[in-house]
Structure 1
Amino acid sequence: MAKSDLDTKKIKTAIIGSGNIGTDLMIKIAESSDVLEVGCVIGIDEASEGLAMARERGFATSHEGVEGAQKLDVWKDVKIVFDATSAYAHAKHDAICEAENKQMVDLTPAAIGPYCVPVVNMDAHLDAPNVNMVTCGGQATIPMVYAVSRVSDSVPYAEIVASVSSRSAGPGTRANIDEFTRTTAKGIEQVGGAQKGKAIIILNPAEPPMIMRDTVYALSVGGKEEDVRKSVANMVADVQAYVPGYRLKQEVQFESFTGNNKLHIPGLGTYEGTKVTIFLEVEGAGHYLPKYAGNLDIMTSAGMGTAEAIARKKFGAAA
């Protein structure tokens, strides 16, 4: 089938990683992006389901990693590269793409480039050669921490607990647990606005598989309850623009700590303020992954949205 005029204006991308995240991203771009197109899909297992699906859709593939992709005719036309492998492998991939002046969108917890959470700070990093999408837990919870911090005098501490189905945690996720906790905690601080952040991930083996659930605890100093409620509701709506299954599970909870009832945080000190508790659920869109895998869907949705914004600003893609 001949490409339409619109297709010829799209920016070619490469996806490194043919696992759950890479395959879902491939389908999202192919079926819903107005400014991006899949140039090639890169893996290391010729028999992987992701590479098989890419070949079925007519996309160029390499099962010999990025080195194999560099031999493909389409590689020279690729402007944006997604990395959906591991934090360990990303350093090598980034070096190759930097040398060839290709934009990198990092979906691993490597955090070589600046942290990017679309609804909070995407516009600030559209010129960076490498942007990091933090983690699935970070994409789900950092917007909530920021929603609290933007209407507070300060947020001395924020902690998030991300619970995901063990079925939605592939080899890459399991290999990156330590990086997940460190990167998410830093993102809570650098993007969310908390002075100190902590992150916990739980892989839940429950059957039937559970939808991603996230709990956010944030200590607000100087924030008014009604302002926090409104800020959280507005941020939920902003995230729903690209992840429709993102929602509050119940009303935001508040607990006041003042006077003789101050809050002591081990290692940090004693504070007066309001403990804000936010309960979230993230249901996936079901493009490739089951709907319970909202943890992966929010990553691919955020990554694609960021790449589309970069394509428009840096490469002149049609709006």
Structure 2
Amino acid sequence: MKQARIPVAIIGSGNIGTDLMIKIMRHAQYLEMGAMVGIDPASDGLARAARLGVPTTAEGIDGLLALPNFKDIRIVFDATSAGAHARHNEKLQAHGVQVIDLTPAAIGPYVVPVVNLEQHLNAPNINMVTCGGQATIPMVRAVSQVAKVHYAEIVASIASKSAGPGTRANIDEFTETTSRAIVEVGGARQGKAIIVLNPAEPPLMMRDTVYCLAEEGADENAIRASVAEMARAVQAYVPGYRLKQEVQFERITAERPLNIPGLGRLSGLKVSVFLEVEGAAHYLPAYAGNLDIMTSAALSAAERFAGRHQAQAAARGEQK
């Protein structure tokens, strides 16, 4: 018999949380909405959830814990802020709930689904890095799978209109979290992240540039193929993710090396990858690809968690 879907809750009824709710309700295979949680009773996200029949609370984490159906919720997404997440996680872990963190708090391991999700299926808390990290770290990883990467730098340019209060309040955490994840997940020896809030009108889609300095003698054709394969893997859950042009290469010679702070003067193969992320426009505008890639990555991770839970239950003969 077919198993019941796993109820999930979303903490944060802003743009990211609301878009994630709509994605779950439209596209999830193993999940269903169990609760939408906020702190503003007048928020559009809570109102929309209520209209869709989703249990809601405007009392934050404590309100979630008090909901009658909380005992059935197995996975919780946190789409609030890095500062609030520590408190939320502490309370949820006491109940054995698996937490997917969409803030830059980085309490749990960094996860980019196409790169390292399978390594962290038992983690009680996973961190989805940042929008820039979800877009660019797969490309750094694609290069590092082929050649040693001394240094990787990413520039994420997003429409100012797509940067809400949470994003603006976490700019420092964005750059620090993304820089660390470039190393820990992407495989670079050293990383740097830059975010640009573009005020252009009409708003521009998310654009990302990835620069890698790989070892001398790296195979350009192998890197090009690895990047293309990784782009296709990301497109499986973010259809609007695409390369804007062919991968660019430049040989940096020992006679004219790059001076990289912390690493010194290095030569090698400079690899430049140019990306665009168009959102699916489920709740947010299509130009808000930076938010769409976060919610899509989080949904992909949760679906994998839930599918694993279902398979384990089936193996125990707990089919419903």
CA shift, 1:77, in A, is 0.6
Map 1:158-169; keep pairs closer than 5 Å: 158-169=152-163
CA shift, 1:315, in A, is 4.9
Separation in structure 1 between the aligned mates of residue 214 and residue 227 of structure 2, nearest angstrom? 13
Which residue pairs with 1:109 in the alignment?
104
Counterpart selection for 2:114 from 119, 123, 133: 119
Separation in structure 2 between the aligned mates of residue 121 and residue 266 of structure 1, nearest angstrom? 28
Does the CA contact (< 8 Å) of 2:33 and 2:54 recur in 1? yes
Which residue pairs with 2:280 in the alignment?
285
- Match of 2:150, as an amino acid? P
Does the CA contact (< 8 Å) of 2:254 and 2:266 recur in 1? no
Q: Secondary structure of 1:163's partner?
A: strand
Which deviations, in whole Å up to 9, do the C-alpha atoms of 1:28-57 show, x marking residues without a partner?
000100100000000000000000000000
CA shift, 1:251, in A, is 1.0
Separation in structure 2 between the aligned mates of residue 245 and residue 45 of structure 1, nearest angstrom? 32
Which residue pairs with 1:224 in the alignment?
219
Separation in structure 1 between the aligned mates of residue 275 and residue 129 of structure 2, nearest angstrom? 18
Which residue pairs with 1:100 in the alignment?
95
Separation in structure 1 between the aligned mates of residue 55 and residue 235 of structure 2, nearest angstrom? 32
CA shift, 1:102, in A, is 0.4
Matched, 1:250 2:249: no
Which residue pairs with 1:27 in the alignment?
22
Q: Secondary structure of 1:52's partner?
A: helix
Separation in structure 2 between the aligned mates of residue 45 and residue 264 of structure 1, nearest angstrom? 49
Separation in structure 1 between the aligned mates of residue 93 and residue 66 of structure 2, nearest angstrom? 17
Q: Secondary structure of 1:256's partner?
A: strand
In the superposition, the TM-score normalised over structure 1's length comes to: 0.96
Counterpart selection for 2:270 from 271, 275, 288: 275
CA shift, 1:311, in A, is 1.1
Q: Secondary structure of 1:13's partner?
A: strand
| Identity in percent | 64
Which deviations, in whole Å up to 9, do the C-alpha atoms of 1:91-137 show, x marking residues without a partner?
00000110010000000000000000000001000100001000000
Q: Structure 1: where are the runs of 5+ without partners? A: none
| RMSD after superposition | 1.2
Matched, 1:87 2:96: no
Which residue pairs with 2:149 in the alignment?
155
Which residue pairs with 1:206 in the alignment?
200
Separation in structure 2 between the aligned mates of residue 100 and residue 119 of structure 1, nearest angstrom? 29
CA shift, 1:264, in A, is 2.1
Q: Structure 2: where are the runs of 5+ without partners? A: 315-320
CA shift, 1:269, in A, is 1.1
In the superposition, the TM-score normalised over structure 2's length comes to: 0.95
Q: Secondary structure of 1:209's partner?
A: coil
Which residue pairs with 2:173 in the alignment?
179
Aligned residues: 312
Q: Secondary structure of 2:284's partner?
A: coil
CA shift, 1:140, in A, is 0.1
Which deviations, in whole Å up to 9, do the C-alpha atoms of 1:140-198 show, x marking residues without a partner?
0000000011100x111100000000111111111110000000000000000001000
Map 1:33-44; keep pairs closer than 5 Å: 33-44=28-39
Separation in structure 1 between the aligned mates of residue 310 and residue 37 of structure 2, nearest angstrom? 23
Separation in structure 2 between the aligned mates of residue 76 and residue 259 of structure 1, nearest angstrom? 62
Separation in structure 2 between the aligned mates of residue 102 and residue 267 of structure 1, nearest angstrom? 40
Separation in structure 2 between the aligned mates of residue 311 and residue 277 of structure 1, nearest angstrom? 36
Matched, 1:73 2:73: no
- Match of 1:140, as an amino acid? A
- Match of 2:267, as an amino acid? E
Separation in structure 2 between the aligned mates of residue 281 and residue 252 of structure 1, nearest angstrom? 13
- Match of 2:180, as an amino acid? K
CA shift, 1:71, in A, is 1.5
